[in-house]
Structure 1
Amino acid sequence: MTIEYEWRGDFDNTPPKALHADGFGHPVTQTDWRERLVRHSLGWVCAWEDGSLIGFVNVVWDGGVHAFILDTVVAQHRKRSGVGGALVAAAAHEARAAKCEWLHVDFEEHLRSFYFDACGFQETTAGLIAL
């Protein structure tokens, strides 16, 4: 089966809602993904297999040289198959093409190996305020 990666892929709200519920293990939400992406994103990468959305990553930015990865998710049945790494690689490629100089990500500890080893991010000092 061939997986196709698409920058700024077109979709209705049903596929990303279902994918996020599957990938993050929660009920389907009413998030309006189209509205969120159009308003806030530099772009997004969709991974499609046989017409089904099996992976997604959102790339938001500051309008300048900083881009940020959010909402990286892969369908449960395709985890640990390279889809996530390919999504992030495509996101980095497109952010670079948009003249961004930095790609940021934050993540939970259990994803450390994925982002540092599989995707090539480097550890930095950062700060966070819980709101």
Structure 2
Amino acid sequence: MPIHYRLDPHPDDASLGALWRAAWEAEPPPSFAPILARSLVHVGAYDGEGLVGYLNVATDGGVHAFLLDPSVDPRYRRQGIATEMVRLAGVAARARGARWLHVDFEPHLAAFYKGCGFRPTQAGLIQL
């Protein structure tokens, strides 16, 4: 069965948590509800009814949107799922008023984000 994508799905915390653990090898937030409440758009990738990918786009309420936590189950990586989720998120974010899509990433992901159309910028970051 091919992968299909949904805009603004609301999987339960158990499904999102299982994906988070697989994708990040870390414990997920206790609940995703407060995160998704601030979302401009989120995208889910599904194999049948099983959640295999997810990403969130937060907003400043204006023209800036922020791509957060693109996650793909390791068994499904290298199939273009994350790239398609980023594309769909960008289209939806623009339709909902965003004009800039920002992303922070580690150097080993530079090629992926360049392939998605992002270009490097200088920015600052403070760990709180």
TM beyond 0.5 = yes
Q: Does 1:59 align with 2:62?
A: no
Over 4 Å off, 4+ runs: none
Conserved in 2, the CA contact under 8 Å of 1:12 and 1:34?
A: no
Unaligned runs of 5+ in 1: none
Q: Distance in 1 between matches of 2:22 and 2:28?
A: 11
Could you tell me which residue of structure 2 aligns to residue 87 of structure 1?
Answer: 85
Could you tell me which residue of structure 1 aligns to residue 66 of structure 2?
Answer: 68
Q: Distance in 2 between matches of 1:14 and 1:2?
A: 23
Letter in 2 for 1:56: Y
Distance apart, 1:34 and its partner CA = 2.4
Q: Distance in 2 between matches of 1:25 and 1:11?
A: 19
Q: Distance in 1 between matches of 2:125 and 2:61?
A: 21
Could you tell me which residue of structure 2 aligns to residue 16 of structure 1?
Answer: 16
Distance apart, 1:77 and its partner CA = 0.4
Aligned partner (choices 37, 44, 47) of residue 45 of structure 2: 47
| TM-score normalized by the length of structure 2 | 0.95
Could you say what the CA RMSD is over the residues aligned between the two structures, in angstroms? 1.1
| TM-score normalized by the length of structure 1 | 0.93
Classify the secondary structure of the residue corresponding to 2:120: coil
Conserved in 2, the CA contact under 8 Å of 1:8 and 1:45?
A: yes
- Between the two proteins, the alignment pairs up a number of residues equal to 128
Could you tell me which residue of structure 1 aligns to residue 124 of structure 2?
Answer: 127
